[in-house]
Amino acid sequence: MNKNRVSIAIHKDTPFMERQINSQNHFDFLFLGMGAANSILLVKLFEAGMLNGKKIGYIDPNSYEKGTYNTDKTFCFWATESELNHMGVARLVSASWENVNINGSLSDIKPYQYYHIRSEDLFKFSSEISERLGVVQICNRVSDIELNEYPYKINCEDGDVYTASETFDSRTPKFENCETHQAHLNQSFYGWVVELEHDNLDPETFTMMDFNVPQLESTQFMYVLPFGRNKALVELTRFGERVITKEEADPILFEYIKQNFGSAKKVNEEYGVIPMSSAALPKPYLSRHIVSTGGRAGRIKPSTGYAFKSMVLDSIKLVENAKKGHDWRFHRDDSRDSGRFAFYDRLLLKVLQKEPALGSEIFGRLFNTIKANKVLKFLEEKSTVFGEIPILMSLPKRPFISAAIKDIRSRILLRFKNRFSLWLALVLSVLFFMDFGIIGSSLLGLGLIIVGIPHGAMDHILESRGEKTNFTASFILKYLGLMGLMYVIWQINAPVALILFLGYSAWHFGESDFRELNIEGNWKSFSWGLWLLVSILTLHLTELNEFLPYFDLAKLPEGKPFLGFTTVKWAVFFSAFLMVFFTCIYQSYSKLRDVVYIVILGTFMPLLVAFGLYFIGHHSINGWSHLKKGLNMTNNQLWRKAWPFSLGAFFILSLFLGVVDWNKTAYWAQFFIFLSCISFPHVWEMRKFYMKSKPVVS
């Protein structure tokens, strides 16, 4: 995280009583980290006049005295003159070049120029703006963000708590674990700014890659930026899993400078590490009031490590959206996650991870075969498919074809895993369409045994979060008491009991599904759960109406048939279409899309199967996953913990099936009563479990 400083500071020695949430700890705009991304955004917001009269602060563990700025970073990018003007950073440019040297091969890069900005100049500029605005500097480190209520709590490591109307998070991201088709490398670099004894530099040409250095089981090259005829940044850069060290770089730098430029004096050093990763980033925030920026928002190009230009353009887009009244992230670039360029990035990273020695051959072929400006256009993701063909053909065939096959295979398997419930729904639909419903019901029965009942049989250890097993007489009595309470309500007033059952079921299902989105259950999640249950029931209104009279409730009108479906079903279909449309616009909710498809496919199955499809194929699997994570247990550990209650549940279910009235109407009604009684204490315990593990982002 880069450094910056402003005029006012709040330090860790603030008295404890002053560290509680109050008006002094609330900001209109709060920046988490003040490196390049948030410094740029601050400047763009200021230039747009959006910070006037606002209380602004930033939280960063680094603090500097006034007039001092870090000088060990540089920001470089290529752009046309019109792009540079659009970016609005020309005043910060300290050097530029029109020609490039790649492994000894020289060429121009027109219409681009390669621009250099010193970190000192960027942070000095943003700090001057900060001082004019009276930005509050908080010398601290954010531990996590609680997302359960707005304004969100920003918790710091020493106990300080802050809130903000708008929050911009540029903290270093923690990437998810790599899937088999993904790779995580580091672009680490260590360089010297040197003054040469003789004028041995070409000030019009920068060296992007010179592979005439030891590779050390990685992809290594020299990067040279001349600032005149006798001054330059000479940097050793490594693409690899292992980060370069000063001890490794120093002798290589010394020898390279001596052989290529002669005697020189070191005047400064530069060091850094940039993630080159195709792994998933932290889940994006769902609120429009908290926005990821910089590397956390995927602004770092995985295959090159370049980010500055992307950060500037992203800041411009964020500000434009806010000025127009849109969500900050409206139509924000998400090319890092999908599309052909993300595919290219994954392939290169996998090849470099498996065969790092190929790096020099890959980049050497690329720039020797294709004009440099076309390569830069490709790396900037602005090339056409037709223009990419010769670029791809210039690369070594075997390693990239092998990586492509493995990538496609892995992604297919991953998509099947991630969309298991949807595939299950499709299989069941086909089975019932072909009159093989008994097979589909058997599959659900197997799922009920494997995960459906076991996921609800962990309640005896939820209160202690797995530290001990609360399989005690008092717990059993409490559990049976809650079941008995629900049964008594049914006997006193069946309509009230039915409404209560649907209400807490909707809350539980919505809370579980929204936990997958990493937000607290609230009215949104309840609305989702309610839509889910109502849709499943109304799509099977004929079956539902058979036993509603059993609860002293009138049958519900189904409406007139139209094109094979009743008007009620058409209403559900239309609402489902709106749900899908919403999840396509707001990708953060995209995981709910498959559930909508499952509900619609359930139309062609009996009510019990349709509900079981969601409950077993989606809800129980998600709940099981939440328990694994929250209790920090493996599947085997969970099953061993669950078996006493699982056996108890099977016994109660068998007892119910043994005494139930097998008259169809009575059976359905009694089944609902049974289901509500055994689920009530489970919903109670899971609610407490979710409350103890509120969604946070670290």
Residues 86-112 have pLDDT tens digits of 999 999 999 999 999 998 889 999 999
pLDDT band at 539 (very low <50, low <70, confident <90, very high): very high
- Please give the helix or strand (H or E) that residue 234 lies within, else none: strand 231-240
Sign of the four-CA dihedral 629, 635, 641, 646: positive
Which pair of tokens denotes residue 596? 């909508």
Give the Cα separation of 270 and 189 in Å (integer). 8
**Least confident stretch, 183-187, 563-567, 691-695:** 691-695
At residue 256, the pLDDT reads 95
Classify 204 in phi/psi space as left (phi over 0), alpha (psi -120 to 50) or beta: alpha
The yes-or-no verdict on residue 291 having pLDDT over 70 is: yes
Q: Which residues contact 575 (CB under 8 A, 6 or more apart)?
A: 531, 535
Q: What is the mean pLDDT of the chain?
A: 86
**Count of CB atoms situated within 10 Å of the CB of 193:** 21
How far, in Å, CA of 306 to CA of 643, rounded? 52
Comparing 303-312, 572-581, 657-666, which segment has the lowest mean pLDDT?
Answer: 657-666
Quick one: pLDDT band at residue 169, thresholds 50, 70, 90? Answer: very high
Indicate the range of 27-41, 88-102, 437-451, 589-603 predicted with least confidence: 437-451
The DSSP call for residue 10 is: E
- Residue ranges of domains in the chain: 8-174+282-323, 184-277, 340-417, 419-433+486-697
E-assigned strand segments in 119-230: 136-139, 142-146, 153-156, 161-169, 184-196, 205-210, 219-226
Coil, helix or strand at residue 264: strand
Question: Mind listing the pLDDT tens digit for each residue in 451-505?
Answer: 888 887 777 777 555 555 556 777 778 888 888 899 899 889 988 988 898 999 9
CA atoms within a 13 Å half-sphere pointing along the CA-CB vector of 548: 14
Span of 5-19, 38-52, 138-152, 549-563 with lowest mean pLDDT = 5-19
Of 315-324, 418-427, 466-475, 646-655, the one with minimum mean pLDDT is: 466-475
Beta strands in 286-419 (DSSP E): 290-292
- pLDDT exceeds cutoff 70 at 286: no
**Region 224-249 average pLDDT:** 94
- Rounded to an integer, the average pLDDT of 169-180 is 88
3-state secondary structure of 629: helix
* Alpha-carbon distances, residue 565 vs 538, 541, 561 (angstroms): 12, 12, 5
Confidence bin at 573 (pLDDT 50/70/90)? very high
Of 160-164, 443-447, 662-666, the poorest mean pLDDT is in 662-666
Cβ–Cβ < 8 Å for 92, 32: no
In this prediction, residue 686 carries a pLDDT of 84
Q: Provide the pLDDT for residue 668.
A: 67
Q: List the one residue out of 99, 22, 471, 254 whose CA is nearest residue 10.
A: 22
> For a pLDDT cut of 90, what percent of the chain falls above it?
47
What is the Cα–Cα distance from 686 to 514, expressed in whole angstroms? Answer: 14
Omega before 111 cis (within 30°)?
yes
Query: What was the pLDDT predicted at 666?
Result: 67
Cα Rg of the chain (Å, integer): 30
**Of residues 216, 207, 204, the one with CA closest to residue 257:** 207
Residue range 364-375: mean pLDDT, rounded: 91
At the second CATH level, the architecture of 8-174+282-323 is 3-Layer(bba) Sandwich (3.50)
Rounded Cα distance between 612 and 621, Å, is 12
Q: Copy the structure tokens of residue 402.
A: 């092998």
| The pLDDT of residue 483 | 87
User: Rounded to a whole number, what is the distance in angstroms from the first to the last CA of the chain?
Assistant: 15
Give Cβ neighbours of residue 440 (< 8 Å, ≥ 6 apart): 427, 428, 431, 432, 605, 609
User: Would the pTM of this model clear 0.85, i.e. be above it?
Assistant: no
pLDDT of residue 350: 95
Give the three-class secondary structure for 287: coil
Residue 314 in this model has a pLDDT that exceeds 80: yes
CATH of region 184-277: 3.30.9.10
The helix/strand/coil state of 271 is strand
**5 pLDDT exceeds 50?**
no
595 sits in which H/E element: helix 593-601
675 confidence band (pLDDT: 50, 70, 90): confident
Q: Give the CB-side neighbour count of residue 4, counting CA atoms within 13 A.
A: 34
Q: What is the pLDDT of residue 449?
A: 84
Lowest mean pLDDT among 37-41, 534-538, 622-626: 622-626
Q: Which residues contact 386 (CB under 8 A, 6 or more apart)?
A: none
C-alpha 152, offset from chain centre: 18
Report the range of poorest mean pLDDT among 157-166, 231-240, 272-281, 662-671.
Answer: 662-671
Statement: residue 134 has pLDDT above 70: yes
Q: What is the dihedral of CA 544, 550, 553, 559, to 10 degrees?
A: 30
* Residue 389: exposure state from Cβ atoms within 10 A (0-12, 13-18, ≥19): exposed
pLDDT of residue 698: 64
Find the range with the poorest average confidence among 173-187, 231-245, 484-498, 633-647: 633-647
Q: Is the pLDDT of residue 13 over 60?
A: no
The pLDDT score that the predictor gives to residue 403 is: 93
Q: If you search the block for the tokens 């830069």, which residue do you land on?
A: 376
**The predicted structure's pLDDT at residue 20:** 42
Residue closest to 284 by CA, chosen among 370, 176, 415: 176
Q: Which residues of 337-346 are buried (b: 16+ CB within 10 A; e: fewer)?
A: eeeebbbbbb
d(CA 25, CA 166): 13
Can you tell me the mean pLDDT for 638-667?
73
C-alpha 362, offset from chain centre: 31
CA distance 41 to 30: 12
Confidence at 221, pLDDT banded by 50, 70, 90 = very high
What type of residue is 596? Answer: V
